[in-house]
Structure 1
Amino acid sequence: MKYNNIILIDDDEEDHQIFLAALEQISNSVKYHFFTDGRKALQDLISGNIQPQAIFLDLNMPLMSGHEFLAQIKQIEKLQSIPIIIFTTSSDPSIKEMSLAMGAKDFLTKPSDFKDLIALLEPLILK
């Protein structure tokens, strides 16, 4: 499925900028929201302030880890169906397996090259 309304939850502001630049290269019609804190994202999702088609989620964050966020969102009936795509620097197969077992739709390892990031995101983003 391709998405045109997404959230990125990642505590690294530079990663937000790079992700945004990649999105802009792929499509100019994507709606996006960025959060550096999973708790704030969860509050806005619960309140209905945002209604994304997919959530890109980093795992290594302070305050609330990606796995903690994933576990909590999967307990909220009205939010359970939102696809969660893990978007992390980890490529550890056991972490991938655990994430998918917890309900993540996909697991993407952040590439170090900008062109590789575009190639990774392009199949997921509605143009």
Structure 2
Amino acid sequence: MNPPITCFLIDDDEDDQEIFALALKKVSSSIACSFADDGTDALRKLQQDETFTPQYIFLDLNMPGMNGKQCLSELKKINRLQHTPIIIYSTSSESKDVQETQQLGASGFITKPALVSALSNQLAELILNRQDS
């Protein structure tokens, strides 16, 4: 049996957080998800609880204060997250954003879909395929 999966979504939009949580529950009710409202909040949570090591981090690009690219750079400096995939989760589908975030160390890029079912399918493919390997 696989250990429980923990995801960490960093996104300033509460509606997007709720949609993400719904999509994850459709993938598996055993997946836990924590949220941060922006990059600064995420880094604070990770620094305050050094035992918190999510299996996946999903990161929005367009946030106030510290944007997603800046946050990604800071996350990559945290040793315990060295093997944690950081997937960009954004409304952007610009190839420039995909390339820049890959260069900064992002493991993947998901453009926010309009339907919860489409997001569930993308998350299932990402998480369940990785669990099988």
TM-score (normalizing by structure 2): 0.86
Shifted more, 63-72 versus 73-82: the winner is 73-82
| Contact 2:59–2:89 (8 Å) recurs in 1 | yes
Shifted more, 85-94 versus 38-47: the winner is 38-47
SS of the residue aligned with 1:63?
coil
Counterpart of 1:67?
Answer: 69
Q: Aligned pairs, how many?
A: 125
Q: Which residue identity lines up with residue 83 of structure 2 in the other structure?
A: S
Higher relative contact order (CA 8 A, sep 6+): 1
Counterpart-to-counterpart distance in 2, 1:81 and 1:46: 17
Which of 113, 118, 121 does residue 119 from structure 1 map onto?
121
Identity %: 43
| Contact 2:53–2:80 (8 Å) recurs in 1 | no
Counterpart of 1:82?
Answer: 84
Counterpart of 1:36?
Answer: 37
SS of the residue aligned with 2:7?
strand
Could you list the per-position Cα deviations for residues 33-52 of structure 1 after superposition, in whole angstroms to 9, with x for gaps in the alignment? 01112112112213315210
Q: Which residue identity lines up with residue 45 of structure 2 in the other structure?
A: D
RMSD, aligned CA = 1.7
Counterpart-to-counterpart distance in 1, 2:81 and 2:31: 21
Give unpaired runs (5+ residues) of structure 2.
Answer: none
Counterpart-to-counterpart distance in 2, 1:118 and 1:79: 24
TM-score (normalizing by structure 1): 0.90
SS of the residue aligned with 2:101?
helix
Give unpaired runs (5+ residues) of structure 1.
Answer: none
